[in-house]
Amino acid sequence: MTPEIRLLFTTCPPDQAERLLAALLGERLIACGNLVPTVHSRYWWQGSLCSDDEALIVMETAIDRVAAAMTRLAALHPYEVPKILTFAPSEVHLPYREWVHAVTRPA
């Protein structure tokens, strides 16, 4: 049986998104990433209500690569406290799941 996959989400400054995505892909920590160039984020930071345009990155990886992908993303991310979330999809098309697992193996 092919291992499960996980979705990783992060937001970042728009000018940093391609760099983060390229690094994780290059290290085979993720199989794929989808970049939404602009989302408007509102959040609390250090006692102030903030508002910024950010990029949203949605990535897929094999379950056994999640910890390494999260650690690397946190190390590369420009934010002091980056949003890095994982989700388990309830259903995944088997050929896609197999592909994600295959391409996230170290070269």
pLDDT digits (tens, 9 = 90+) for 52-82: 999 999 999 999 999 999 999 999 999 999 9
Residue 65, Cβ neighbours under 10 Å: how many?
A: 26
Whole-structure pTM value: 0.94
CA dihedral 16, 21, 52, 6 (to 10 degrees): -160
Give pLDDT tens digits for 78-104.
999 999 999 999 999 999 999 999 999
Residue 94 contacts by C-beta under 8 Å, 6 or more apart in sequence? 2
Residue 52 contacts by C-beta under 8 Å, 6 or more apart in sequence? 40, 41
